Amino acid sequence: MKTTNYYNTFIEVAEDCPVKTAEVPPMRGEKTIANIEFELLIENPYEFTSDDVLFHVYAAKSHLKTKEFDAERALFFSKGQACFRSSPLTKRYGWGAHFNDEGRMAIYPVESAEYQQFSRDKTLKQVKAMRSKKA
């Protein structure tokens, strides 16, 4: 099974992130990937791993039933998945992602003191969110 989990890592916002202050992803009809990720992480800091969050998004968007989760999760992670560096939260909305030593994650607004502290912490692996594709 493949994984997207990070440990003792901080994902900084993308270099081409269009905001200087973190934004709550706006609702536009059906919940977007960004909406689902944001709600899950802002309400449950350090409760979930990246794998948990990405599978939760997949399950919600695919309208899976709870009884299908185990089999679907195994199938989902049997193939490589994009990691959290490609999340709209880190690319577009100005949220950094911190992963502790257990791989559990929380998000922090780019303008926060916590974000600044994590981004300078030499004990953490520092990575940037992926840049948006240029047209």
Give the 3-state secondary structure of residue 106: strand
Give the separation between CA 27 and CA 11, rounded to whole angstroms.
24
CA distance 98 to 84: 11
Phi, psi dihedrals of residue 98, rounded to the nearest 5°: -105, 135
Q: Check residue 95 and report its DSSP letter.
A: E
Percent of the chain with pLDDT over 70: 98
Q: How many angstroms separate the CA atoms of 89 and 19, rounded?
A: 11
Average pLDDT score, the chain: 92
Q: What is the DSSP letter of 131?
A: P
Name the maximum alpha-carbon separation found in the chain. Answer: 43
pLDDT in tens, 41-66: 999 999 999 999 999 998 988 887 88
How far is Cα 45 from Cα 107, in angstroms, rounded to an integer?
A: 7
Q: What is the pLDDT of residues 6-35, one digit of tens each?
A: 999 999 999 999 999 999 999 988 899 999
Q: Give the pTM.
A: 0.89
